[in-house]
Amino acid sequence: MHNTFRYAFGFIFTVMLLAIILLFTTVVKNPEGYVYYLRPGMSKFEVISELHKLGILRLDQEVALGIIALPGKKTALKTGEYHFKKGATLRSVWYQMKTGTGLYYRHLTIIPGWTFKQVRTALLKASVLRQLTASLDDKQLMDKLGHADLLPEGQFFPDTYNYTRGDTDVTVLKVAFDRMQKKLQQVWNNRSAGLPYKNAYEALIVASIIEREAYLDMERPVIAGVFMNRLASNMPLQVDATVIYGLGDRYTGKIYKENLLEDTPFNTYLHRGLPPTPISMPGFASLEAATHPERNPFYYYVTKGKGAHEFSATLNAHHAAVEAQKKQGI
């Protein structure tokens, strides 16, 4: 009887204690909801107390039965950063934390045309993302991704990637890498006939150059056609963007004559054919253009403002176009 009485008293005390807490609670209204980090090792009562102190929840009779049952639950709460929507109840909040659903996601965007160096900088700046590759060089990083045989430039698809607290930079990079391989294989499998590429990697290199040279989507296949014509005629590509890439951090915003004479592997004024690697992360439109170039007579192009270019079939016509743009101050 004594044990039975003690058990009954303990249960009644717990119920009364929780009921008292409940008198002070309802969900605090907020148009944008709340972000809450449930840290490793927190007890259920610590979570309830913190939710109350943070003003995320206030307990009332409406949720009394639900919270009274919580101490008896054996299901562990899942660590993570949660987004509780406006009007959330204790039951819905508790369900999220038991099931690990409704996590709060942050976003990292890889911009088309970025270099891998810029991708790494963005990863370092990503809020709460666990950094596992910050101290690794590019080769070590690719080894960690399981692709030690590949160079990283051009291998990560430009897109917006979601991550939550606890995720790692490796996780984000792997998703971006896999997405690029899928997109590249897709366009490669459906490529136009007669392209001068030995493999999909060469198509990726051309796509990366198109990404840096083209501003208007409608011009990407045209520029790709220019590159095809030059490659077929064994002419140097003579692309400023590749020269700039070869200069690396020494590029100051302007190309000088000495830069065009500098013998780097990426100087397509001095070396015929493609550069040894991509020079940027190409988007899907550039991948499409590289594998479906426009058949045209053009070998030259020059900017004419607002992102557009003037295309020419002959060198004389190109010189005339360049002079015309100079007169207009472009």
Strands of the chain (E only): list them.
25-27, 34-38, 57-59, 80-84, 106-109, 160-163, 300-305, 308-312
Q: Is 302 exposed, middle or buried (0-12, 13-18, 19+ CB in 10 A)?
A: middle
Structure tokens at 46: 């610590």
Listed in sequence order, the DSSP H helices in 80-239 are: 90-99, 116-125, 138-144, 169-189, 200-213, 220-232
Q: Are strands 34-38 and 80-84 parallel, antiparallel or unpaired?
A: antiparallel
Single pTM value for the model: 0.84
Cα separation of 5 and 166, whole Å? 46
Over its C-alpha atoms, the chain yields an Rg (Å, rounded) of: 30
Cα separation of 222 and 290, whole Å? 10
Task: From first to last of the 330 residues of the chain, give the pLDDT tens digit.
Answer: 454 444 444 444 444 444 444 333 344 444 478 899 999 998 887 888 888 888 887 765 445 445 545 555 566 889 999 999 887 878 888 899 999 999 999 999 999 999 999 999 999 999 899 999 999 999 999 999 999 999 999 999 999 999 999 899 999 999 999 999 999 999 999 999 999 999 999 999 999 999 999 999 999 999 999 999 999 999 999 999 999 999 999 999 999 999 999 999 999 999 999 999 999 999 999 999 999 999 999 999 999 988 899 999 999 999 999 998 887 876
H helices, E strands: number in the chain? 13, 8
Residue 152: phi, psi to the nearest 5?
A: -75, -25
